[in-house]
Structure 1
Amino acid sequence: MAQGSFVAYYRVSTARQGASGLGLEAQKEAVRRYLNGGDWTIKAEFVEIESGRKSDRPELERALSTARLHRVPLIVANVSRLTRSSAFLHRLLEAGVEVRFCDLPEIEGPTGRFLLQQMAAVAELEAGMIASRTKAALQAAKARGKKLGGNRGVVMSDATRAAGRAARTLKADGRAADLAPTIAELQAAGITSLGGIAKALNERGIPTARGGEWSPMQVSRVLTKLAEKAA
């Protein structure tokens, strides 16, 4: 039985959902069977009515944002709902969200991410071509006398460190953007103090970037980032 919280994403095509057996109600039933009772909650549900060939899916973006915000997995009824576009699969991998597929109940966590990576690779090239090219590259490197694997005494350059800082900043900016709608909602409801916003975020079960509880100082940092982005 599943435990914890989830965000559910359903994709339907009105022209085919009845014939395909993967209509909205069928997908919701698949999610219920996957969760199988248990101590779980669905934080939010998002329904996309769109072609599977398109990678631009606004409801999916909202689902990913909500899953990141609450730091919970995204649950999808059927793996085919998400696998027709390699560009989209890469977007999903970059989103930093764990994805659960109801028709692949044993695939989750690092194994699930690995599965998505393989799906993206297969969408670009046949698995045999990838294996052949990798093997040829390793043999060529070995022939040149290049040492493969192990610690080769690499020291990070200033540029590498700067790239690392930029990546961390980008991640923090993304987290602030995910929080923006919720904070705006709280402010519109009259909750404007740093302490009040921190308390409301904690009550809603929204963790900080490191998984802890909010303090006024952390809220202040997020508001500063949002103000800088709006300027």
Structure 2
Amino acid sequence: MHQHTTADLYLRLSLDREGKTAIDRQEADCRAWAERNGLTVRKVHIDRGRSGYKNVSRKGFDAAITAATAGVVGVLVVWKLDRLSRKGIGEVGKALDDIGRVGGRLVSVMDGLDTQDDSARVTIAMLAELARNESRNLGMRVGSAKRYLRRRGQWIGGQPPYGLLVDPETKKLVHDPETAVYARLIADEALSGKALVHIARLLNERGVESARGGEWNSSSVMQLLRSPASPDSCRRPSTRSRQTGHAST
């Protein structure tokens, strides 16, 4: 028997830059809608830091769709339709068909859409395609900007590799006078065939703080060795710099 008085919430945030606040806001709005409409929230499914456009695993999405299409709940509530998916009507349409087949409903709170109203499907189809196009165009703009910065030899963004920092004027990677010598030490030890655990122990014995703070271990050393950096920004510090413990500039 279909549980028409129960609802599951699906919440998603692509980039968790706002911390927990953005997810909390989605949940509060969705819960308020459910309460106004006499529904009991059974479960909240969350995909934090997961794209709705790229082909990535979304366990929260899968669980939410499964519950709604199996008739475990009568209503699947999302904050906005683009939180559910940015893959267009292909994915959204299938979800609508599967949920509708068992007599369920999809509700998008901020869009004011409820598939209980037959006319909502047309609007949902339009919004689904708009979300897909928006993500595709954004990806094209970001890709173009990154290619431009790479051609200029500038850092494309994010945390610079250990031992390097971004020059505020040129936006290029330069040696960090505090950590470059240790980055070179790690590279030299690794190239000489030393085990990662040995390198971590060596750094800890010297009182060197890891890239994320605290002590080094084999995993943090491996992560550093895999960090991307352009050849121009990874030149070996001078002999004098390595001896004195400061990177050349």
TM-score by length of 2: 0.41
- Structure number with larger C-alpha Rg: 2
> Which structure is higher in helix share?
1
